[in-house]
Each structure stands twice: as C-alpha cells, then as structure tokens.
C-alpha cells in the first residue's frame, strides 16, 4: 500500500472523538486488548479487518500499540474510501498522555 495516511496525535484524536461522527478502532491482538484499552474503542484485530465493513460516515481513528499496525489498517481503510487517520504513537502515546485504559472487567488496564 502506498496510500499516505494522515497522522493525529492524542490531543487531535480526542478532539475528533469528541464529535458524534468519529470512532476509535483498536486493531491490536486479543491479549493486548484484554490487558487494557480505551473504553470508547471498538476492537477488531488487524488480521480480521475488512474495510468494506465501514459504511458509516465519519472519521475512524485507528490505533494499535505503537502506531505501526494501525498505519497499515488506516491505509487499507483510506484505500476503501473510508475517512481514516492513524493515532501517532498508538496506545503507548494514549497512556503517556494520561488517558485511561480499562480491561473488560472494568479494572484499570495497561498497554501490553
């Protein structure tokens, strides 16, 4: 893929996600998700991503652990006509910015 994908930092991602037409997509593996994720995120492993599933309008902010896998996912989404951006630095940057992470049981999470 040679698609240039827009990169957003955590501050810009939060501004986008505060809008009603943006969503956070976490493409990490199941064990990474289980260790901790943003409570507002939707989980779909990169290997399971089908860009055709995204038929709604709005921006998809894509994240992974560090921003590399999510860049690949965001490029696939952009190629499919989806308004997608990559969260620069991924969940590591999210956590460094003081944003909360939760596990599925509601307890505080970590970035695995």
Could you report the per-residue pLDDT of 56-100, keeping only the tens digit for each?
A: 889 999 999 999 999 999 999 999 999 999 999 999 999 999 999
Is 106 within a domain? no
Tell me whether residue 87 is in a domain: yes
Q: 72 exposed, middle or buried (CB, 10 Å; 0-12, 13-18, 19+)?
A: middle
Q: Which two tokens stand for residue 93?
A: 């940057």
Judged by DSSP in three states, 106 sits in coil
- Out of 64, 78, 84, 111, pick the active-site residue: 64
**How sure is the predictor about 1, in pLDDT bands with cuts at 50, 70 and 90?**
very low
- Calculate mean pLDDT across residues 12-39: 96
Q: Is 64 a catalytic residue?
A: yes
Paired tokens of 32: 């990474």
Q: At a CB cut-off of 8 Å and minimum separation 6, what does 67 contact?
A: 7, 86, 87, 88, 89, 90, 93
Residue 69 placed within a domain: yes
- Within a domain: 2: no
**Number of structural domains, the chain?**
1
> pTM of this prediction?
0.95
As a whole number of angstroms, the distance between CA 108 and CA 67 comes to: 22
First vs last C-alpha separation in the chain: 27
Domain assignment present for 103: no
- Three-state secondary structure readout of 40-104: CEEECCHHHCCHHHCCCCCEEEEECCCCHHHHHHHHHHHHCCCEEEEECCHHHHHHHCCCCCECC
Range of the domain at 83: 7-96
């Amino acid at each position: 893929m040679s698609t240039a994908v827009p990169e957003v930092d955590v501050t810009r991602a939060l501004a986008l996600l505060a809008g009603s037409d943006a969503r956070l997509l976490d493409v990490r593996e199941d064990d990474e998700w289980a260790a901790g994720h943003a409570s507002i995120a939707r989980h779909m492993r990169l290997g399971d991503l089908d860009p055709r599933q995204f038929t709604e309008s709005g921006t998809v902010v894509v994240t992974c652990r560090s921003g590399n896998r999510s860049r690949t996912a965001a490029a696939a989404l952009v190629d499919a006509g989806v308004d997608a951006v990559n969260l620069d630095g991924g969940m590591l940057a999210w956590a460094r910015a003081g944003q909360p992470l939760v596990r599925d049981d509601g307890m505080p999470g970590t970035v695995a």
